[in-house]
Amino acid sequence: MATGRTHRPATRSRGIPEATVARLPLYLRALTALSERSVPTVSSEELAAAAGVNSAKLRKDFSYLGSYGTRGVGYDVEYLVYQISRELGLTQDWPVVIVGIGNLGAALANYGGFASRGFRVAALIDADPAMAGKPVAGIPVQHTDELESIITDNGVSIGVIATPAGAAQQVCDRLVAAGVTSILNFAPTVLTVPDGVDVRKVDLSIELQILAFHEQRKAGEEAAVDTAAPAAVRRQPAATDQGPDGDVPAVMPA
Ligand SMILES: NC(=O)c1ccc[n+]([C@@H]2O[C@H](COP(=O)([O-])OP(=O)(O)OC[C@H]3O[C@@H](n4cnc5c(N)ncnc54)[C@H](O)[C@@H]3O)[C@@H](O)[C@H]2O)c1
């Protein structure tokens, strides 16, 4: 679901390309599922299919980790889980703060998937004084006045922004000034950050717009096939091919 990019060069200092880093969580998710089923080894083809990645790309990615698998046996699942987790920095606990505890912030706070992946929600912060002290996902919301001390006291380096767009830059500036160096931004705005701060942006509406583009293209291709086909096999409007008024067929008869 995550889109966007980090403000980093295309290759990390240890020589792992950013595109490979972006695929490591996909491998880890697939490997974790195999591990849960106690599958001991996996071939590059099987793992590539499970992760939705091309197998040659997977082998190249794993070569950056120094993991080459064993011919005829494949990769050791548990060892790869460990290797990728270590590479991603997931063998340590990462306290994160969520700022903006509205619909989205509360949903994120309630999401169990963070903790199971090593991300502990250390604090929930909101500007609304009426929310201060109210528990969300069992954690009392704290007021933004305390933002700096929360970051310092908890050694937080990762912040999640779920405020309205208009507040996001100011929240970002305060997080960065307090010591946060990685930000996951859900607000629909582009954040400006100094060098050394990574920002990743999540925007579900952009994902939907990309799907809409593909839907439109598929519809165009279908229409082209319909036009090219002999009249007898051209698609006729079905009962469900109705426009919003119910009387205009979405697929016009040829
Ligand atoms: N990226 C996505 O896919 C996605 C999906 C849904 C919503 N959003 C975005 O996430 C944000 C939150 O959406 P929502 O539906 O939860 O909104 P919401 O109005 O329910 O919640 C926003 C919260 O932010 C708090 N807030 C406002 N200014 C603040 C500040 N300066 N510091 C701290 N807290 C502050 C408000 O008090 C409120 O509790 C919006 O920017 C929205 O556009 C993004």
pLDDT in tens, the chain (254 residues): 444 444 444 444 468 899 999 999 999 999 999 999 999 999 999 999 999 999 999 999 999 988 777 888 899 999 999 999 999 988 888 999 999 999 999 999 999 888 878 899 999 999 999 999 999 999 999 999 999 999 999 999 999 999 999 999 999 999 999 999 999 999 999 999 999 999 999 999 999 999 999 999 988 888 777 777 665 444 433 333 333 333 323 322 22
SS3 199: strand
Distance (Å, whole) CA 242 – CA 111:
39
92 CA from centroid of ligand 1 (Å): 29
Nearest CA to ligand 1 atom 39: 102
Q: Which fold has domain 94-202?
A: Rossmann fold (3.40.50)
Considering just the CA atoms, what is the radius of gyration of the chain in Å?
24
pTM of the model: 0.76
Q: What is the ipTM of this complex?
A: 0.98
Nearest CA to ligand 1 atom 15: 103
Check: CATH 3.40.50.2300 for 18-87?
A: no
183 CA from centroid of ligand 1 (Å): 15
| Ligand 1 pocket residues where CB is under 6 Å | 99-105, 125-128, 144, 162-165, 167, 170-171, 186-188, 202-204
162 CA from centroid of ligand 1 (Å): 4
Q: Where are the domains of the chain?
A: 18-87, 94-202
The reply to whether 18-87 and 94-202 are identical in fold is no
Mutate to test the pocket of ligand 1, among 108, 126, 183 (most ligand atoms within 8 A of CB): 126
168 CA from centroid of ligand 1 (Å): 9
Q: Helical H runs in the chain?
A: 18-36, 44-51, 55-64, 77-87, 103-110, 113-116, 147-154, 165-178, 204-228
